[in-house]
Amino acid sequence: MSSLNPDYLFVFILAAFVGFQLIKKVSPLLHSPLMSLTNAIAAVVIVGAITITGEEGATPLAKTLGFIAVFCATVNLVSGFMITDRMLKMFKPRGK
Protein backbone atom coordinates (compact mmCIF):
# COMPACT_ATOMS: atom_id res chain seq x y z
CA MET A 1 0.00 0.00 0.00
CA SER A 2 1.49 3.33 -1.04
CA SER A 3 1.62 6.32 1.25
CA LEU A 4 0.03 9.68 0.45
CA ASN A 5 2.32 11.95 -1.55
CA PRO A 6 2.71 15.30 0.31
CA ASP A 7 2.65 17.16 -3.02
CA TYR A 8 -0.83 15.87 -3.80
CA LEU A 9 -2.04 16.81 -0.34
CA PHE A 10 -0.69 20.34 -0.85
CA VAL A 11 -2.47 20.58 -4.23
CA PHE A 12 -5.73 19.41 -2.66
CA ILE A 13 -5.50 21.96 0.17
CA LEU A 14 -4.59 24.75 -2.26
CA ALA A 15 -7.47 23.85 -4.59
CA ALA A 16 -9.94 23.73 -1.70
CA PHE A 17 -8.74 27.13 -0.46
CA VAL A 18 -8.98 28.73 -3.92
CA GLY A 19 -12.43 27.24 -4.48
CA PHE A 20 -13.66 28.49 -1.11
CA GLN A 21 -12.32 31.98 -1.79
CA LEU A 22 -14.08 32.07 -5.15
CA ILE A 23 -17.44 31.15 -3.67
CA LYS A 24 -17.03 33.45 -0.66
CA LYS A 25 -16.23 36.60 -2.68
CA VAL A 26 -19.29 36.47 -4.94
CA SER A 27 -22.54 38.10 -3.86
CA PRO A 28 -25.19 35.38 -3.52
CA LEU A 29 -27.91 37.78 -4.66
CA LEU A 30 -26.32 38.29 -8.06
CA HIS A 31 -24.60 35.02 -8.65
CA SER A 32 -26.36 31.71 -8.50
CA PRO A 33 -24.80 29.03 -6.30
CA LEU A 34 -24.42 26.86 -9.39
CA MET A 35 -22.23 29.45 -11.12
CA SER A 36 -20.12 29.87 -7.97
CA LEU A 37 -19.66 26.12 -7.79
CA THR A 38 -18.68 26.06 -11.47
CA ASN A 39 -16.01 28.70 -10.83
CA ALA A 40 -14.71 26.72 -7.85
CA ILE A 41 -14.51 23.54 -9.94
CA ALA A 42 -12.66 25.46 -12.66
CA ALA A 43 -10.12 26.63 -10.07
CA VAL A 44 -9.59 23.06 -8.90
CA VAL A 45 -9.14 21.93 -12.52
CA ILE A 46 -6.55 24.66 -13.12
CA VAL A 47 -4.49 23.72 -10.07
CA GLY A 48 -4.69 20.00 -10.84
CA ALA A 49 -3.88 20.45 -14.53
CA ILE A 50 -0.87 22.65 -13.75
CA THR A 51 0.38 19.98 -11.35
CA ILE A 52 -0.01 17.18 -13.88
CA THR A 53 1.48 19.22 -16.72
CA GLY A 54 4.51 20.11 -14.61
CA GLU A 55 5.27 16.53 -13.53
CA GLU A 56 8.78 15.43 -14.43
CA GLY A 57 7.73 12.13 -15.99
CA ALA A 58 4.63 13.41 -17.78
CA THR A 59 4.10 12.06 -21.29
CA PRO A 60 3.60 14.45 -24.21
CA LEU A 61 -0.08 13.45 -24.29
CA ALA A 62 -0.47 14.29 -20.59
CA LYS A 63 1.22 17.66 -21.12
CA THR A 64 -0.99 18.45 -24.11
CA LEU A 65 -4.18 17.48 -22.30
CA GLY A 66 -3.01 19.40 -19.22
CA PHE A 67 -2.42 22.52 -21.30
CA ILE A 68 -5.86 22.21 -22.89
CA ALA A 69 -7.43 21.76 -19.44
CA VAL A 70 -5.64 24.83 -18.07
CA PHE A 71 -6.70 26.92 -21.06
CA CYS A 72 -10.37 25.85 -21.02
CA ALA A 73 -10.75 26.18 -17.25
CA THR A 74 -9.08 29.61 -17.30
CA VAL A 75 -11.47 30.82 -20.01
CA ASN A 76 -14.40 29.51 -17.95
CA LEU A 77 -13.15 31.14 -14.75
CA VAL A 78 -12.38 34.53 -16.31
CA SER A 79 -15.68 34.67 -18.18
CA GLY A 80 -17.56 33.85 -14.96
CA PHE A 81 -15.94 36.80 -13.22
CA MET A 82 -16.59 39.06 -16.23
CA ILE A 83 -20.29 38.17 -16.14
CA THR A 84 -20.42 38.86 -12.40
CA ASP A 85 -18.70 42.22 -12.89
CA ARG A 86 -21.16 43.15 -15.63
CA MET A 87 -24.10 42.23 -13.40
CA LEU A 88 -22.70 44.35 -10.56
CA LYS A 89 -22.38 47.35 -12.91
CA MET A 90 -26.06 46.99 -13.83
CA PHE A 91 -27.05 47.69 -10.21
CA LYS A 92 -24.81 50.73 -9.69
CA PRO A 93 -26.48 54.13 -9.95
CA ARG A 94 -25.84 56.05 -13.14
CA GLY A 95 -23.49 59.05 -13.09
CA LYS A 96 -24.87 62.21 -11.51
Rounded to two decimals, what is the model's pTM?
0.57
Q: Which of 73, 67, 63, 2 is nearest to 39 (CA)?
A: 73
Residues near 69 by Cβ (< 8 Å), separated by ≥ 6? 45, 46, 48, 49
Q: Where are the alpha helices (DSSP H) in the chain?
A: 6-25, 33-53, 60-90
Q: How confident is the model at residue 34 (pLDDT cuts 50, 70, 90)?
A: low
Count of domains observed in the chain: 1
Report yes or no on 33 lying in a domain: yes
Structural domain span for residue 86: 6-90
Report yes or no on 1 lying in a domain: no
Report yes or no on 95 lying in a domain: no
Report yes or no on 46 lying in a domain: yes
Residue with more model confidence, 5 or 21: 21
Report yes or no on 32 lying in a domain: yes
pLDDT tens by residue, 35-83 = 666 777 778 888 888 888 888 888 888 888 888 888 888 888 888 778 7
Report yes or no on 67 lying in a domain: yes
Report yes or no on 96 lying in a domain: no
Q: How confident is the model at residue 1 (pLDDT cuts 50, 70, 90)?
A: very low
Q: Which of 76, 74, 81, 94 is nearest to 27 (CA)?
A: 81
Report yes or no on 11 lying in a domain: yes
Q: Quick count: other Cβ atoms within 10 Å of Cβ 14? A: 15
